[in-house]
Every structure is written in C-alpha cells, then in structure tokens.
Structure 1
Amino acid sequence: MDEVEFMRGRVYGADHDNPGPRAGRVYAHLVGGPLDGLLLDVTDLTEQERARGVTLATEIGRYGPGGHSAYTPRPGDTRRFDWRGDVP
C-alpha cells in the first residue's frame, strides 16, 4: 500500500487506531498540498470560522516539522477545503 492509499479516508488529527470518520460528525475534504485526501472534522466550527479557513500543523509540508498548511473552503462547495500554501 502506498502513502496516498494509506492516507485516503483518514481524518486529520484522528487517533491512529481509529483514523476514519465517526458517525454524527461533519467533514470537509482537504484538496491539494501535503494533506491532500484527508478529511477535516468541521463539526464544531462556526460558519465564520469555516469561511476564514484553517491552518493545520503538518510535518510533511514545505517547512517540515513545526510547519503548517493553510486551507480555505472552495467557493460554492464548502465540503472541500483547497490548499492555499504552507507557512512556518
């Protein structure tokens, strides 16, 4: 199994023993960048927070350990968050 296949269907920040989505939660798909294909749990985000987007810690982005990747909702499809770039 390659890394892309392994990451598919996994939730960002989820426990490694239970990496998949949970019932009753709302998820957005991360599109592009180092976290491409992961799901993001947006259940507890307000509409305003979702509209602003998120900055997520990642060790596999441009800045390595300690770096972050920025994602914003896709216009017209808030179930997808598009990558906007990596930040330190």
Structure 2
Amino acid sequence: MEELPRQAHDHVELIGGPLDGLRLDVSGVSGEVGAELREGAFLVSGIGEGPGAGTGAGALYRPRRVDPCRWDWAGGS
C-alpha cells in the first residue's frame, strides 16, 4: 500500500487548565483570524473540571511571549 504524503501542520501546545497537554492545530490560519490568534483563543469544549463543566464550557488560552508555540491557560467559564 502506498503512503500518502503528509501535510505539514502547525500546532500550539496547551498548558494548564482543562485542555492541558493537548495540541491545537493552527495550520493555514491567516487574515483576521490569524491576527486574533496571536492574542490567544477561547476554546469551547466538553472537557472540563467540576460540576459546572461540560458541553459549552470553555477555556481561555494565551500564547507565551517568549515561546508563542506554548499557550497558557488564562481562565474559563
């Protein structure tokens, strides 16, 4: 069986919070969305902590100034 060529992907590593250790694929993001991603992202997820977590819960992650490929948890809902 012939292997398909793999496309390069750009990822950021999520540090802390409910999504700790996961990687977010930011490949091909450009324009306004890309500019906004330089500030971080609020990620909606079914993964959470405690009784208030679940579907619709979210976590805010922001890139580190010295290492923008690692995003730190900055709180959530």
**TM-score band w.r.t. shorter chain:** 0.7 to 0.9
Q: Deviations over 1:13-60 (max 9, x none)?
A: xxxxxxxxx640100000000000000001133352222211111123
RMSD: 1.7
Quote the offset at 1:85 in angstroms. 0.7
Alignment partner, residue 55 of structure 1? 42
2:66 to 51, 64, 76: 76
Partners of 2:29 and 2:15 lie apart in 1 by 19
The partner residue of 2:20 within 27, 36, 47 is 36
**Structure of higher RCO (CA pairs closer than 8 Å, 6+ residues apart):** 2
Question: Which structure 2 segments of 5+ residues have no match?
Answer: 1-5
Aligned match of 1:65: 55
* SS of alignment partner, residue 59 of structure 2: strand
Residue-pair matches, total: 66
Q: Which has the larger radius of gyration?
A: 2
Instruction: Give percent identity, aligned residues only.
Output: 41
CA distance in 1, matches of 2:17, 2:45: 11
Contact 1:52 1:72 in 2 (8 A): yes
Counterpart Cα distance in 1 of 2:28 and 2:58: 20
Question: How many angstroms apart in 2 are the aligned matches of 1:50 and 1:66?
Answer: 20
